Amino acid sequence: MNYIITIASLLLFDGSFQTLPAVRSERLEGIVVSYDAEMSLRTSQADFVVKLKTSDGKKYIRLRYSPPRWRVTNPFGFDAPPFSPGHASVYPRGAVAKPEQLLPKVMFSDGSVVWIFQAHSPRNPEEQRACTGQVKRYAAGKDGLPVEVERFAPVPGQESEIIPNPESLSCLIMEDWTLKEK
């Protein structure tokens, strides 16, 4: 009987409960150079590129963020919008990100600010999909037909920076952030 239950369990579950071995958190220092503006505006998540502070200054990394409490129940899937009084009654308790869980607006509005990030390699299938999934954005073209548009916008002050394609960069899951003291 246990054998049948085990086989049935393996067939029913796609492995979403599996986790990868814990990878220690890394401390990264750098400036945000581009970000998925629509994601940051419409959700509590973020997808952005950081230029790391290195001796040659040319190392980039992609970071993904989802608020901690929300990450427990649905890491990078359906995302509730940032908290506002109008949303409080629409979403289940705990499903709307609180203001302190959202990334600060200055992170995406001032490309000269230096940040310290704590991040780790993807530890489970949801985090892996967040880093490897190919999201495409479309807008109406001149003839009214949809055309693919760039997802990532430069952070003000970083418009002249030549940034690698975000999908080609190493991707980490951001745990925490602090503003670097000058």
**Entry pTM:** 0.73
Q: Which residue has the tokens 């796609």?
A: 14
Please state whether 136 falls in left (phi above 0), alpha (psi between -120 and 50) or beta.
beta
Of 40, 60, 42, the residue nearest 51 (C-alpha): 60
Cα–Cα distance measured from residue 179 to residue 182, given in angstroms and rounded to the nearest whole number: 9
Q: Where are the domains of the chain?
A: 21-179
pLDDT at 20 over 70: no
| pLDDT tens-digit map of 105-160 | 999 999 999 999 999 999 888 889 889 987 788 888 889 898 888 889 999 999 99
List beta partners, residue 36. 152
- The answer to whether 102 and 44 are in contact (CB under 8 A) is yes
